[in-house]
Amino acid sequence: MGNISFRFPDRTAIVTGAAHGIGRELAAAFADSGATTFLLDRDGEAVERSAAEVGGHALALDVSDTTAVEAAIDAVRERTGRIDVLVNNAGILRDGMLWKLTDEDWDAVLAVHLSASFRTIRACAPTFRAQRSGRVINVTSYSGLHGNLGQANYAAAKAGVIGLTKTAAKELARFGVTVNAISPNAETRMVAAIPEDRRAEIAATIPLGRFAAPREMAAAVQFLASDEASYITGAVLPVDGGVAI
Ligand SMILES: NC(=O)c1ccc[n+]([C@@H]2O[C@H](COP(=O)([O-])OP(=O)(O)OC[C@H]3O[C@@H](n4cnc5c(N)ncnc54)[C@H](O)[C@@H]3O)[C@@H](O)[C@H]2O)c1
């Protein structure tokens, strides 16, 4: 799919979980659109490779590590003097019926999806406030909107991301900063990890009849990140082939 016409020259974009999947494609789209793009991921080798391929800068870190997140955001700020777009996309699954979930399964999923999103926004907030501009796009999920069997940890984390999105939108609005979320549905490693029969069942419930290519998430994210989306904040935009209808 070709790049759409959003342009981000002289802008700085940060995408977490950008070594693979949706995050990689979002980083590629921002780099293609002229943004100085930082790819954050804990998979050091893959993030270096993806950054080189898309023309961005790699920062290898675990987003659930507060100190590492703050150092990374400081490094971006020092390098470019600004932060325009923050995409909180990093994610993991530790699925299991809740009576089988361990504390570790619970804590790890909450840490990567919810706590890390809070911490990156908190770390960027002083820059957003000083600039009086900024765009945050968080990545939530169908599970966060509706719940899902075997995903109590993930659904709670993604529902939390929606609460964080709405509250951050209210708190940062006075500084001209918007905070929105997308709820994606794309064919990535995360989807490949779902057992084949279950994956086919899920595909059958998608009104558009297929999972998206990860790059199909980029237009929605770039729209929300653009100047044109100046009056949209606190929204959760499904980019999911109609699943959430
Ligand atoms: N694929 C889908 O259909 C779908 C549906 C709903 C929501 N999502 C969400 O979209 C986002 C991207 O998912 P994806 O499908 O591209 O998955 P993916 O597994 O392909 O990519 C996730 C990326 O996050 C990175 N990551 C994981 N833990 C990290 C950590 N602690 N620190 C830094 N990086 C970390 C991984 O290394 C990987 O590069 C996730 O938040 C996921 O929950 C995906």
> What pLDDT is recorded for position 200?
87
| 14, 54, 188, 206, best to mutate for ligand 1 pocket (most atoms within 8 Å of CB) | 188
Instruction: Give burial (CB, 10 Å; 0-12/13-18/19+) of 121.
Output: buried
- In this structure, the residue with its CA closest to atom 11 of ligand 1 is 89
Q: Is 111 helix (H, G, I), strand (E, B) or coil?
A: helix
Catalytic hit among 154, 159, 168, 222: 154
57 in Cβ contact with 36 (< 8 Å): yes
Q: Is the CB of 64 under 6 A from ligand 1?
A: yes
Q: What is the pTM of this model?
A: 0.97
pLDDT tens string for the chain (245 positions)? 554 579 999 999 999 999 999 999 999 999 999 999 999 999 999 999 999 999 999 999 999 999 999 999 999 999 999 999 999 999 999 999 999 999 999 999 999 999 999 999 999 999 999 999 999 999 999 999 999 999 999 999 999 999 999 999 999 999 999 999 999 999 998 788 888 888 888 889 999 999 999 999 999 999 999 999 999 999 999 999 999 99
Cα of first residue to Cα of last residue in the chain, in angstroms, is 25
> What pLDDT is recorded for position 2?
53
Write out the two tokens for 109: 């999923």
How far from 9 is each of 132, 152, 195, 216, CA to CA, in Å?
18, 41, 42, 22
What's the angle, vertex CA 226, arms to CA 13 and CA 146, rounded to 5? Answer: 85
Q: Is the CB of 141 under 6 A from ligand 1?
A: yes
> What pLDDT is recorded for position 194?
83
> What pLDDT is recorded for position 4?
53
> What pLDDT is recorded for position 196?
87
**154 catalytic, yes or no?**
yes
154 in Cβ contact with 96 (< 8 Å): no
The Å distance, Cα 97 to ligand 1 centre, comes to 21
> What pLDDT is recorded for position 3?
47
| 67, 87, 89, best to mutate for ligand 1 pocket (most atoms within 8 Å of CB) | 89
What's the angle, vertex CA 137, arms to CA 101 and CA 175, rounded to 5? Answer: 125
